[in-house]
């Protein structure tokens, strides 16, 4: 004979209410894990590759150039062979400047020619005009610099670093123009 007492009925109902949420929660958890697996399989992956801007390579080139000329000037005994770097305005570019490095003999000659031109009220000398007049000093300067670089391994390394930095910059610049 099957007895349906209110206490047994309450206990079985209570058990049902305790077990049912656990079963439903487990079922939801399994569904959620299955959905997450499906999403992970179907999610598109995007890879971002960062590059350094061209300005970074230009700065590296300028830094190695200044390092070389500073070391060079420290070793030079004749003041006319020392090199001075300065920012000069680009022709027809307004306020935009570019760095240029000139030996002292070049700057002295340009200054003298500029003074003469201003007194005579004629056109100021260009860099090409000055370069033509200092060809002998340039030959002597290059010979002196070559000896100095060959006799000093640190200076030679700085020259190589400067050359490599310029090559990297120009190759990156060409890569940007080619895109």
Asked if 85 and 101 count as a contact pair (C-beta separation under 8 A), the reply is yes
Percent of the chain with pLDDT over 90: 51
Q: What are phi and psi of 86, to 5 degrees?
A: -150, 160
User: Each residue of 125-147: pLDDT tens digit?
Assistant: 988 999 999 999 999 999 999 99
Q: Name the more confident of 17 and 112.
A: 112
The whole-model pTM stands at: 0.65
Q: Name the more confident of 177 and 137.
A: 137
Angle at 64 between CA 58 and CA 68, to 5 degrees: 145
Domain residue extents for the chain:
1-33, 54-178
- In terms of DSSP H, where are the helices of 43-53? none
Average pLDDT over residues 85-91: 83
Average pLDDT over residues 3-15: 54
Q: Tell me whether residue 79 is exposed, middle or buried, using C-beta atoms within 10 angstroms of its C-beta: 0 to 12, 13 to 18, 19 or more.
A: exposed
Q: Name the more confident of 47 and 11.
A: 47
């Amino acid at each position: 004979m099957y007895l349906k007492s209110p206490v047994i009925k309450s206990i079985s109902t209570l058990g049902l209410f305790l077990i049912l949420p656990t079963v439903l929660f487990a079922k939801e958890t399994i569904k959620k894990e299955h959905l997450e697996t499906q999403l992970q399989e179907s999610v598109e992956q995007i890879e971002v590759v960062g590059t350094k801007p061209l300005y970074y390579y230009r700065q590296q080139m300028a830094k190695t150039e200044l390092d070389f000329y500073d070391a060079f000037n420290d070793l030079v005994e004749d003041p006319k062979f020392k090199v001075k770097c300065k920012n000069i305005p680009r022709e027809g570019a307004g306020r935009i400047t570019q760095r240029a490095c000139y030996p002292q003999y070049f700057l002295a000659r340009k200054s003298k020619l500029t003074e003469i031109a201003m007194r005579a009220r004629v056109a100021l000398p260009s860099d090409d005009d000055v370069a033509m007049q200092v060809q002998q000093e340039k030959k002597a300067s290059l010979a002196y610099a070559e000896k100095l670089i060959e006799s000093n391994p640190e200076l030679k390394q700085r020259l190589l670093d400067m050359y490599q930095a310029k090559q990297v910059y120009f190759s990156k610049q060409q890569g940007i123009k080619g895109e």
